[in-house]
Structure 1
């Protein structure tokens, strides 16, 4: 199998070769110190993965010659969107990294009633950094598709998206097994909604109920928002995605 793994956007590809984007080229040249003739792999974030050979390493660029297509790996059959309230920078970046590793299709930062004002300020300016963290996590975990990371949205916008909505709350809600039974056969798309450190407001809870979201609790303990987000994703992948759980094992 090829050694180092790189990402390049679709527009950098030709029929026979690809030039790595600046950050990837710098990493390949200065950190990994790749050599001409070395075998690597490269993916375009849209589902294509290739074996490749390093053809050029210079100050201007790192160019790879494309080889055979490789199998697409690491993608869940479940279209899973995580709508998570904005958190302090380090916590939100951790959620992005782990959600990508767990196979989330799309991450939507939520601007909710109890998000701290200091967290809201400058959120849109951090979008490129969040996407870079997502790309690095995709490379690390072996996925073939980049997780889309949207600009911040309000809860009402996300509640109108296609898919079954799971609204994780500390207030009124059913337990996990009841929630899964209520949904029935595996849905094609699921949206997980997780609130901020201060929890959902009463109006946000009512809004979710009005949109027929499945309101549920995550056990008997109070969880940090970042813990709740990752637990929610893991549960949904176990119930409807590619985390296979054999309930007949003893």
Structure 2
């Protein structure tokens, strides 16, 4: 199901107001009242049933959260704070590409993974602070982007996943993970260090490339 930018909600009514999305829905996809699409914002993605198509916006009714798609139960991204004007846009782009939830990895400029709690507990605590009602983590593959002697290409790591597993991708700050964080990743379960090749990318670019690789792999599995 196609995904579009959720601009705002008012009660149970959802609005898509991005000019390109409105044009695509009206003139390319030619959606009509009664059709369903997935709309996403920085926090989550939801199914909406279109109730009215206008020249400058699309109205719809919230029908529930986006269903499980083929491959993983959830595709989650953990992002360190990126100091750029494109940070909010990055959230929207990742959601539009198929991410189910974006988890901030910093709190009051303190790194989440530098304290004494286990990595699994910290991730679950971060999930509990979001608005999306999520059950406890099931079988979760944690992919950590960063330089490490055991790093493997991300497409090789994806081959180890199975349908029904959650996938969490952790993207660190542009300065890299701290030595404490790297040590704790090594000690945690279900963690795989992954790379995007020899080139070093900006944090926001690395996140988008990772989601692109995940999307391409998921489609290859669906198409057989």
In the superposition, the TM-score normalised over structure 2's length comes to: 0.59
Matched, 1:168 2:145: yes
Task: Please give the per-residue CA displacement for 1:168-206, whole angstroms capped at 9, x wherever unaligned.
Answer: 11222332254234x243452100001101011111111
Aligned pairs for 1:10-29 (under 5 A) are 12-13=11-12, 18=13
Structure 2: stretches of 5+ with no match in the other structure: 24-31, 40-44, 114-118, 128-136
Aligned pairs for 1:147-226 (under 5 A) are 154-155=112-113, 156=119, 157-158=122-123, 162=137, 163-176=140-153, 177-181=155-159, 183-212=160-189, 213-226=191-204
Structure 2 Cα separation of the partners of residues 193 and 204 of structure 1:
12
Partner of residue 102 from structure 1, selected from 97, 102, 106: 97
Contact persistence 1:8–1:43 (CA under 8 A): no
Aligned pairs for 1:23-172 (under 5 A) are 47-53=46-52, 76-77=69-70, 78=72, 79-111=74-106, 120=109, 154-155=112-113, 156=119, 157-158=122-123, 162=137, 163-172=140-149
Contact persistence 1:164–1:191 (CA under 8 A): yes
Structure 2 Cα separation of the partners of residues 65 and 216 of structure 1:
39
Count of residues paired in the alignment: 179
Structure 2 Cα separation of the partners of residues 245 and 185 of structure 1:
10
Name the structure 1 match of 2:28.
none
Name the structure 2 match of 1:235.
213
- Tell me the SS of whatever aligns to 1:206: helix
Structure 1 Cα separation of the partners of residues 123 and 97 of structure 2:
21
Structure 2 Cα separation of the partners of residues 238 and 201 of structure 1:
30
Q: Measured at CA, do residues 106 and 153 of structure 1 come closer, stay the same or move farther in structure 2, by a change above 3 Å? A: farther
Give 1 or 2: higher strand fraction.
2
Structure 1: stretches of 5+ with no match in the other structure: 33-38, 55-61, 121-151
Task: Point out the structure with max Rg over C-alpha.
Answer: 1
RMSD, matched Cα: 4.6
